[in-house]
Amino acid sequence: MRFDTGGESVAVNTRTVTKEELGRQKMFSSKVENLLSQRYQDKPLACVVTYGCQQNVADSEHIKGMLDEMGYAFTDDRQKAKLVIFNTCAVREHAEDRVFGNVGALKKYKLANPDVIIALCGCMMQQKHIAEKIRQSFPFVDLVFGTHALHIFPELLFTAMTRRKRVFELPDIDGVIAEGIPVKRDNDSKAWLPIMYGCNNFCTYCVVPYVRGRERSRQVSDIVSEFEQLVSEGYKEITLLGQNVNSYGKDLEPKVSFSELLRILNALDGDFRIRFMTSHPKDCTKELLETMAQCDKVATHLHLPFQSGNNRVLKAMNRGYTREKYLELINYAKELMGDELSVTSDIIVGFPGETYEEFKDTLSLVKEVKATGLFTFIYSPRVGTPAAEMDDPVSHDEKAKWLAEILDEQEKISAQNMKLHAGKTFKCYVVGKGKLGDNYLAARTDGNLIIEFEGGERLIGTFQNIKVIEPLTFVLKGEIEKN
């Protein structure tokens, strides 16, 4: 536990990994480095494969940071790697099946190359029944560790390399916060910055609260210093991550709200854009929407998943809001930010017991919200969640038809949305070369739309005002606005 840090808000119930513990991991990191230099002439290669959400992408960047420190270089080719690590996702069955398939495919490679280490980590591995299945059915896997053991990866890897026994590390705790783990980022202009971990919501379909532990917020000063570091390294788009960013700071004393954090970051010097995800409608406040509208560096993009448009289903999902409350938030956001606002959402189709009539309410909400983009999923039962125990009479094929209805509708909405942008000017970040022709560059709007325009490569990595001249199907065509 961390107390008195000179007046700052501190987490009083969260275990923060101490500097001494992290120092111990540095020692294991050098031990691995020594072993590697004895075993291999050149830097051995590591292949890090990531499944699932942005939090996993962020975790994998820390795994790569630790591996880099241990003396590994990197490859995307599993068959060239001396270490293959899968950072897994447990949110839907499909993601789990892919992991099992891909791990199985490594069996031959491992048998032919016994010095190769196969490691599995992340949300799926935090579940006991999965770890047990790996233990029984995949004897060639050397190391399995859950989400709460990420910061001790150097120690676990050293043990797996030096001991003849397989290593399974699944601490049954509510989670920790570890500051100062090395990081190796995938992109040099776009960065992920977790501001909190875990989830306390227990939506009845969701496995996340069981595998990611309780909500815990990083201290403002730690977030600000990482943010400033990113800006000084030239990062232009920084996405704040949390399962439910609207709960940020509730566990700190004195409390800090997510809006306050946004205002602090918005006031920092530099040319950058702040994004955030995910917001939960239950905790999304009018104050947050006003903050988005008022802070010039905060993108006017709101990822606010509604999951269902039917109040009975929302209640059965334990979402804590109604369709009406959701619409009130969206309408207020539109009032404040007008055409600048871009809304995206997640939807689950075929929750246990959902009828076609109830599903129709989701379809009608899709029509009302007119989102820029939707992430749609067919319900997938997850071991240990309340929904997995509920009657689920509708067939998967039927649910797939419902999903297709939503996708059809959203396609029409997206085409209409694109047309509405004709003639408008957006502040965009120029991300790289475009696809429409040799001289074209691609730029991203606040709402994550891509506009392509003709321009010289020196504009890559800058913000430009770009006017839309022609909406195409998936991209907008534009030109730099003349003053």
Question: 479 by DSSP, 3-state: which?
Answer: strand
- Per DSSP bridges, beta strands 476-480 and 463-471 are antiparallel
* Segment holding 27, helix H or strand E: helix 19-39
- Total number of residues binding ligand SF4 (CB under 6 A)? 10
Q: Which does 244 bind (CB under 5 to 8 A by kind): ligand SF4, ligand 5AD, none?
A: ligand SF4
CB of 91 to ligand SF4, least distance (A): 8
Smallest gap from Cβ 406 to ligand 5AD, in A, equals 13
Considering the complex, what minimum distance in angstroms separates the CB of residue 210 from ligand 5AD?
11
Helix (H), strand (E) at residue 253: strand 252-253
- Of 88 and 189, the one with the shorter C-beta distance to ligand SF4 is 88
Alpha carbons 48 and 483: distance in angstroms, whole number: 47
Q: Of ligand SF4, ligand 5AD, none, which one does residue 343 interact with (CB within 5 to 8 Å by kind)? A: none
Stretch that binds ligand SF4, among 34-42, 196-204, 226-234, 356-364 (CB under 6 A): 196-204
Residue 201 binding partner per list ligand 5AD, ligand SF4, none, with a CB distance cut-off of 5 to 8 Å that depends on partner kind: ligand SF4
Minimum CB separation of residue 380 from ligand 5AD in Å reads 4
- If one counts every other C-beta atom within 10 angstroms of the C-beta of residue 154, the result is 25
Which one of residues 199, 302, 314, 366 is an interface residue with ligand SF4 (CB under 6 A)? Answer: 199
Q: How many Å apart are CA 111 and CA 413, to the nearest integer? A: 52
- Least Cβ distance, residue 388 to ligand 5AD (angstroms): 8
CB of 99 to ligand 5AD, least distance (A): 16
Instruction: Report the distance separating Cα 471 and Cα 422, nearest Å.
Output: 6
DSSP state of 384: T
Could you tell which of ligand SF4, ligand 5AD, none binds residue 148, using a CB distance below 5 to 8 A set by kind? none
Which of residues 280 and 301 has its CB atom nearest to ligand SF4 in the complex?
Answer: 280
The alpha helices in 47-187, defined as continuous H runs, are 54-70, 93-104, 107-112, 128-137, 153-162
Q: Which residues bind ligand 5AD (CB under 6 A)?
A: 91-92, 205-206, 305, 307, 346, 348, 377, 379-380, 382
Question: Measured between alpha carbons, how far is 129 from 135 in angstroms, rounded to an integer?
Answer: 10
In the complex, the smallest distance separating the C-beta of residue 270 from ligand 5AD, rounded to whole angstroms, is 31
Neighbours of 119 (CB within 10 A): 23
- Using alpha carbons, list the distances in angstroms from residue 240 to 27, 111, 298: 31, 42, 11
Distance in Å, CB of 466 to ligand 5AD, minimum? 31
- Give 5: exposed, middle or buried? Use CB within 10 Å, 0-12, 13-18, 19+: exposed
Residue ranges of the alpha helices (H) in 143-297? 153-162, 208-212, 220-232, 258-266, 286-294
Q: Given the structure tokens 């269902």, which residue do they identify? A: 308
Please identify, using beta-carbon distances, which residue of 102 and 318 lies nearer to ligand SF4. Answer: 318
Tokens 């790289």 found at = 432
| Nearest-angstrom CA–CA distance, 36 and 57 | 26
With H, G, I as helix, E, B as strand and everything else as coil, classify residue 50.
strand
Nearer to ligand 5AD, 54 or 285 (CB): 54
209 binds, among ligand SF4, ligand 5AD, none (CB under 5 to 8 A by kind): ligand SF4
Closest distance to ligand 5AD from the beta carbon of 382 (Å): 5
Label each residue of 185-228 as H, E or C. CCCCCEEEEECEECCCCCCCCCCHHHHHCCCEECCHHHHHHHHH
Minimum CB–partner distance for residue 17 and ligand 5AD (Å): 27
Amino acid symbol at 178: A
Picked from ligand SF4, ligand 5AD, none, the partner binding residue 380 (CB below 5 to 8 A depending on kind) is: ligand 5AD
Site string for ligand SF4, 200-219 (x = CB under 6 A): -xxx--x-xx----------
Pick 40 or 377: Cβ nearer ligand 5AD? 377
- Decide: 203 and 241 in contact? Cβ < 8 Å: no
| Contacting ligand SF4 within 236-295 (CB under 6 A) | 243-244, 280
Give the separation between CA 323 and CA 310, rounded to whole angstroms.
7
Closer by beta carbon to ligand SF4, 247 or else 291: 247
Residue 381 binding ligand SF4, by CB under 6 A = no
Gap between the Cα atoms of 370 and 345, Å rounded: 10
CB nearer ligand 5AD, residue 16 or residue 307: 307
Q: Which is nearer to ligand SF4, 351 or 426 (CB)?
A: 351
Window 120-149: residues binding ligand SF4 (CB under 6 A): none
| Binding partner of 377, given ligand SF4, ligand 5AD, none, CB within 5-8 angstroms per partner class | ligand 5AD
**What is the nearest approach in angstroms of ligand SF4 to the Cβ of residue 93?**
15
Q: Which residues sit at the interface with ligand SF4, rule CB under 6 A? A: 199, 201-203, 206, 208-209, 243-244, 280
